[in-house]
Amino acid sequence: MVKINKTTKLPPAVKIYVNAGFNNTLITVTDLNGHTLLWHSCGRAGFKGTRKSTPFAATTAMNQVIDQLKSSYVKKAQVFIKGPGPGRDAALKSLKHSNIKLTLLADVTPIPHNGCRPKKPRKG
């Protein structure tokens, strides 16, 4: 992970991965090659316990990421959202209200095609 300070410049286009689980929302910012530049989560934003799984916590974490991106002059972003948690829509809404242009918005939540193999029938 790149240490972000006032002299570090991020590329003008990045990828933002939002992993919204039921207990936490994780946000990872990478360059276009997939190298992690910075990351944030609801727990890192100061929320503990069940408050980490709220939409407000996801909004707060995303706003902190947006502030770091704006200070590094990032203009465009591709967004990939994964998971069924309550923070996915809140994080996306706060990202839409920023001045960062969204060039791609994709839902990459894994969906099982046929599920697990069923148990064999009971003998008897």
Residue 91 sits at φ, ψ, to 5 deg, of: -65, -40
Q: Tell me: pLDDT of 1 over 60.
A: no
The whole-number pLDDT of residue 94 equals: 93
Question: Who wins on pLDDT, 109 or 2?
Answer: 109
Q: Is 117 part of any domain?
A: no
Average pLDDT over residues 58-82: 92
Per residue in 39-71, is it b (16+ CB within 10 Å) or e — as a string?
A: ebbbbebebeeeebbbbebbbbbbbbbbebbee
Domain count for the chain, please give it: 1
DSSP state of 7: T
The whole-number pLDDT of residue 57 equals: 95
Mean per-residue pLDDT of the chain: 89
DSSP state of 42: T
Cβ count near 85 (within 10 Å): 24
Would you place residue 66 in the very low, low, confident or very high pLDDT band (cuts 50, 70, 90)?
Answer: very high
CATH number at residue 42: 3.30.420.80
State the alpha helices, DSSP H only, in the chain: 55-71, 87-96
- Summarised one tens digit per residue, pLDDT across range 8-27 is 678 889 999 999 999 999 99
Would you place residue 122 in the very low, low, confident or very high pLDDT band (cuts 50, 70, 90)?
Answer: very high
Q: Is 120 part of any domain?
A: no
**Spatial contact of 102 and 96, defined as CB atoms under 8 Å apart:** yes
Q: Is 43 part of any domain?
A: yes
| Structural domain that includes position 29 | 13-107
For the record, the structure tokens of 50 come out as 């069940």
